[in-house]
Amino acid sequence: MAELAYASHVQIGEKRFRERYGLDFEDFQVGQIFKHRPGLTITQQDNLEESFDTLNQAMIHFDAHYASKTEWKKPLVVSTLTLQRLIGMTWKTFFKKMRILGWSALNMTAPVFGGDTLYAETEIMAKEDVEGDAACGKLTVETRGMNQDGKLVCVMGYDLLVYKRDAVPFEGVNY
Amino acid sequence: MSQFHSHRKLEDHVFMEIAGIEFEDFEVGQVFEHRPGRTFTAEENRQHTFRSADLFARTADAEYNHKVYGGENVISETLVLSAVTAMTTKTFNKVVANLGWTDVKLPTPVKAGDTIYAESELLDKRESRSRPAQAVLHVRTRAVNQDGLEVCSFERKLLIYKRGLGPYEDAGY
């Protein structure tokens, strides 16, 4: 049997459990790798809506005829749509995230097209306490996105604040 | 008036809309103010978060957000970065693809109701070594909110077509 790790639920009564995902800051260690599931298939409709929602005027994303005349042949998925999806997919591990502080680097390593399925994984690169912040610690992580063929499409390094065990704001609010 | 244009003349009285500055016309140090600005709402933040398969409690559960954070709706960092990048796509419309971002900073959180304005400075331009028809731009983009506070800044490299070497004519552009 596989070895299991980290609680998905907290027991709040004899036979009552409440879903509570996410690792506390203390649980993270440098070198850990988390493979996020489920994956997510991106469609050209998603791409179109993202372009219009953000006022993106680059027609490579929404004019298929124009795209057919480029080396890509099909509309390219908006890079930052890929980024949003990859970070969204990490929620089970990082449910106790306070916020993202910023990205040190974000590289698109291969094109993403409508119909591609993305899988994300995250490696913990560094962790440290933050001066003046008793509630949260800072994680430096690298999230990588792969398509259905295992090809790396995006690599991003970023910092986020994650709540420490005694400060996770779940008590008293039914979480 | 400037040396940049929004239309090209096809024949007498017939004009086609164009967008984007040509690689050859960019000069290091130029700054471009992007318009329109963009206002964020709590509802679009919810939709973007859910469509990213993200169950972030502060966004999903208004009651939780009210009890823990006083109800202030903060826009997701990934949506802010996406929107700021998208705001640059008229000036940088000759794009082939984005290569990458560095030094993405988010000094002030964006809240529902905030409006942001972005501008981009050209840091560097060079021809691509591996792609003779294309070139690389290095730009710094920063966005401020309605009070002038910086909400996002980053550097970015993107590939763009060189003059006359894009697929535009072929595609009816």
Residues on chain B touching A55 (C-beta within 8 angstroms): 36, 38, 83, 86-87, 89
B40-72 residue pLDDT tens: 999 999 999 999 999 999 999 999 999 999 999
Name the superfamily (CATH) of residues B7-40+75-161.
Hotdog Thioesterase (3.10.129.10)
Residues on chain B touching A95 (C-beta within 8 angstroms): 55-57
Phi, psi of B23 (to 5 degrees): -50, -45
Q: Is the Cβ–Cβ distance between A82 and A42 less than 8 Å?
A: yes
Name the strand (E) or helix (H) holding A16.
strand A16-19
B17: helix, strand or coil: strand
The third-level CATH classification (topology) of the domain covering A24-167 is Thiol Ester Dehydrase; Chain A (3.10.129)
Q: What is the pLDDT of residue B1?
A: 66
Q: Which residues contact B160 (CB under 8 A, 6 or more apart)?
A: B20, B23, B92, B94, B95, B96, B134, B135, B136, B137
Q: Is the Cβ–Cβ distance between B60 and B152 less than 8 Å?
A: no
- Rg value, chain B, Cα: 19
Q: What is the pLDDT of residue A1?
A: 74
| Inter-chain CB proximity B82 and A50 less than 8 Å | yes
Residues on chain B touching A58 (C-beta within 8 angstroms): 89, 92-93, 95
Q: Which residue of A has its CA nearest to B152?
A: A102
| Inter-chain CB proximity B89 and A57 less than 8 Å | yes
Average pLDDT over residues B137-166: 97
Looking at every residue in chain A, the average pLDDT score rounds to 96
Q: Which residue of B has its CA nearest to A76?
A: B97
**What residue segments make up the domains of chain B, in order of their start?**
7-40+75-161
| Inter-chain CB proximity A95 and B57 less than 8 Å | yes
What DSSP string runs through A21-67? ----GGG--TT-EEEEEEEEE--HHHHHHHHHHTT---GGGT-HHHH
Q: CA-CA distance, B86 to B118, in Å (whole number)?
A: 10
Residues on chain A touching B54 (C-beta within 8 angstroms): 87-89, 91
Strands (E), B12-170: 14-17, 31-39, 95-105, 115-127, 134-145, 150-161
| Inter-chain CB proximity B154 and A53 less than 8 Å | no
Q: Measure CB to CB from residue A40 to each of B19, B53, B173 and give the nearest one.
A: B53
Average pLDDT over residues A55-75: 97
CA nearest neighbour of A10 among A95, A101, A137? A95
Tokens found for residue A79: 């890079």
CA distance A79 to chain B (A): 7
| Inter-chain CB proximity A83 and B78 less than 8 Å | yes
Q: Measure CB to CB from residue B44 to each of A53, A56, A85 and give the nearest one.
A: A53
A113-140 residue pLDDT tens: 999 999 999 999 999 999 999 999 999 9
Buried b / exposed e along B122-161 (16+ C-beta atoms within 10 A): beebeeeeeeeebbbbbbbbbbbbeeeeebbbbbbbbbbb
pTM > 0.90: yes or no = yes
Strand-pairing partners, residue A161, are A99, A138
**Using CA of residue A157, residue A160, residue A164, residue A168, what is the dihedral sign?**
negative
Residues on chain B touching A103 (C-beta within 8 angstroms): 81, 101-104, 154
Q: Is the Cβ–Cβ distance between B43 and B113 less than 8 Å?
A: no
Q: Which residues contact B159 (CB under 8 A, 6 or more apart)?
A: B95, B96, B97, B98, B99, B128, B131, B134, B135, B136
B36 to each of A91, B16, B147, B150, B155, how far by Cα in Å?
32, 21, 16, 17, 21
Alpha carbon A67 to chain centroid distance?
28
Tokens found for residue A103: 């990205």
Q: CA-CA distance, B33 to A76, in Å (whole number)?
A: 26
Residues on chain A touching B90 (C-beta within 8 angstroms): 57
Phi, psi of B98 (to 5 degrees): -80, 140
pLDDT at B149 over 80: yes
Report the complex ipTM: 0.89
